[in-house]
């Protein structure tokens, strides 16, 4: 083979290998969140900004989704690197609860951090006459996007109260923003929103119509019979016109990844989260509840080795 022929063969091959190597080196971090009017989305945007500085070799992006169940299924299939999820959905995914949207156990998932608690917040228009869970019977209610963490919560709470979707007058499966718009237009009577306190969708609603925050009593929480559901309180004046504290349910949120993401990347994602909590709080007040010492606790599945490395490094895991 002549030298010129050899060059024609070798040079393109070397270029192809170099390009393949550089393409492989480009790492992507897709952050799976929820609807844009919820809490996951602004926190995901803040995380993306944090990762852009802390992991400059990676390209970070934020994806709006239907939240928990969709996020976990996307992670399992490798279509995302880190996701927000509710604790009960995460437990269902790990075990493979088909009713919750998981046909088989999602065993590729790995934990990163316990973050803050969601509060199940049921709000009704004042003129609907709804003041208790029993009053939801025969009413028009939005229960969240299909198979979302909110919708899973709705099924559980109604069951604990001795109700089901069949007892409602009409069921809408809509994300927070759309549910609120229907309430403003008097097309539905109530909506259930599972989110951090002060969620923008309810704040928006409270400034537009007179509303009632419907209590979820402790006995209903007990009947749900799920350790992820803890009796909680929505403090007075969380929303305009809500002058008294309201009993409800708290459920911990988690950040989760999958086993295919490198130890080094997850270590950096975990460390940079805690080193930049001020940015998370600036994005949404719910992040005030994120505590580093709580990160590895209550995890219903194994920690990712990268997250475990960080927690060991700071002495939270021996």
The per-residue pLDDT for range 195-242, each reduced to its tens digit, is: 889 899 999 999 999 999 999 999 999 999 888 899 999 999 999 999
Left (φ > 0), alpha (ψ -120 to 50) or beta: where does 108 sit? alpha
Burial degree of 34 (CB within 10 A; 0-12, 13-18, 19+): buried
Q: Residue 37 domain-assigned?
A: yes
Task: Return the pLDDT at 212.
Answer: 97
158 & 148 share domain: yes
Q: Residue 22 domain-assigned?
A: no
Task: Return the pLDDT at 2.
Answer: 52
**Spatial distance between the Cα atoms of 178 and 183, rounded to a whole number of angstroms:** 9
Residues in the chain, pLDDT under 50:
3, 5-7, 9-11, 13-24
205 & 145 share domain: yes
Q: Which residues contact 212 (CB under 8 A, 6 or more apart)?
A: 123, 124, 125, 126, 128, 130, 131
Q: Domain ends where: 202, 226, 251?
A: 251
* CA dihedral over 45, 274, 317, 231, signed as positive or negative: negative
225 & 293 share domain: no
Q: Residue 100 domain-assigned?
A: yes
268 & 231 share domain: no
95 & 123 share domain: no
Q: Residue 133 domain-assigned?
A: yes
Q: Residue 67 domain-assigned?
A: yes
Domain range enclosing 238: 118-251
**Spatial distance between the Cα atoms of 187 and 191, rounded to a whole number of angstroms:** 11
Q: Residue 274 domain-assigned?
A: yes
215 & 128 share domain: yes
CATH number at residue 273: 3.40.190.10
The pTM of the full predicted model, rounded to 2 decimals, is 0.80
237 & 293 share domain: no
Task: Return the pLDDT at 94.
Answer: 96
Q: Domain ends where: 216, 251, 286?
A: 251
232 & 201 share domain: yes
112 & 141 share domain: no
Q: Residue 196 domain-assigned?
A: yes
240 & 157 share domain: yes
Task: Return the pLDDT at 227.
Answer: 84
133 & 110 share domain: no
151 & 228 share domain: yes
Q: Residue 2 domain-assigned?
A: no
Number of domain units in the chain: 2
């Amino acid at each position: 083979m002549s030298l010129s022929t050899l060059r024609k063969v070798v040079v393109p091959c070397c270029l192809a290998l170099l390009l393949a190597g550089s393409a492989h080196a480009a790492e992507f971090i897709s952050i799976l969140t929820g609807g844009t009017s919820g809490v996951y989305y602004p926190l995901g945007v803040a995380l993306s900004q944090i990762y852009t500085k802390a992991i400059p070799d990676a390209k970070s992006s934020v994806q709006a989704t239907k939240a928990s169940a969709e996020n976990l299924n996307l992670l399992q299939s490798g279509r995302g690197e880190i996701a927000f999820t509710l604790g009960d959905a995460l437990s269902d995914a790990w075990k493979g609860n088909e009713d919750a949207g998981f046909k088989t156990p999602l065993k590729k998932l790995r934990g990163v951090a316990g973050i803050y608690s969601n509060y199940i917040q049921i709000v009704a228009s004042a003129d609907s006459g709804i003041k208790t869970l029993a009053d939801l019977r025969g009413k028009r209610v939005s229960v969240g996007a299909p198979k979302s963490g909110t919708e899973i919560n709705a099924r559980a709470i109604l069951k604990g109260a001795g109700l089901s979707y069949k007892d409602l007058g009409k069921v809408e499966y809509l994300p927070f923003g759309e549910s609120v718009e229907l309430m403003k237009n008097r097309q539905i009577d109530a909506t259930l929103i599972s989110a951090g306190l002060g969620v923008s969708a309810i704040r928006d609603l409270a400034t537009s119509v007179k509303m009632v925050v419907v209590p979820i009593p402790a006995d209903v929480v007990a009947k749900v019979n799920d350790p992820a559901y803890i009796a909680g309180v929505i403090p007075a004046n969380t929303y305009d016109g809500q002058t008294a504290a309201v009993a409800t349910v708290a459920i911990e949120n988690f950040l989760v990844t999958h086993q295919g993401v490198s130890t080094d990347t997850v270590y950096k994602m975990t460390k940079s989260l805690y080193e930049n909590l001020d940015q998370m709080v600036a994005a949404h007040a719910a992040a005030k509840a994120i505590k580093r010492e709580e990160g590895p606790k209550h995890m219903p599945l194994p920690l990712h080795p990268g997250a475990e490395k960080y927690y060991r490094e700071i002495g939270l895991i021996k």
